[in-house]
């Protein structure tokens, strides 16, 4: 079996999403943390690349687009919450 770059992108993407979820369940990451969100966004991008350049599957692609949008929403929301807390003088935890 021949593996192309987009196959590897998909495997790495799946690994990132699964690892993020495992680390969340193991209480090693916080769901609103930057690391968790980045792992999900980069994972979704990897799977999307494998779908776009490999064998396309519309339902899987739609799921990855949703995963990507939700992850970006989480990162933007985290930045906004931390900025508002900093401006109001409240202490916030790091990502």
Convert the pLDDT of each residue in 16-69 to its tens digit: 999 999 999 999 999 989 999 999 999 999 999 999 999 999 999 999 999 999
**CA angle at 55 for the pair 50 and 57, rounded to the nearest 5°:** 90
Answer whether 37's CB lies under 8 Å from 78's CB. yes
Query: Which structure tokens are listed for 10?
Result: 């998909």
pLDDT band at 95 (very low <50, low <70, confident <90, very high): low
Answer whether 41's CB lies under 8 Å from 72's CB. yes
How far apart, in whole angstroms, are the C-alpha atoms of residue 38 and residue 4? 24
Q: What does pTM read for this prediction? A: 0.88
């Amino acid at each position: 079996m021949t593996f192309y770059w987009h196959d590897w992108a998909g495997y790495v993407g799946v690994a990132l999403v699964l690892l993020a979820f495992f680390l969340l369940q193991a209480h090693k990451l916080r769901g609103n943390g930057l690391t968790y969100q980045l792992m999900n966004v980069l994972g979704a991008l990897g799977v999307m690349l494998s779908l776009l350049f490999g064998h396309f599957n519309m339902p899987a692609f739609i799921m990855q687009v949703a995963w990507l949008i939700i992850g970006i929403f989480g990162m933007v929301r985290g930045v906004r919450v931390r900025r508002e807390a900093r401006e109001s003088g409240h202490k916030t935890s790091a990502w």
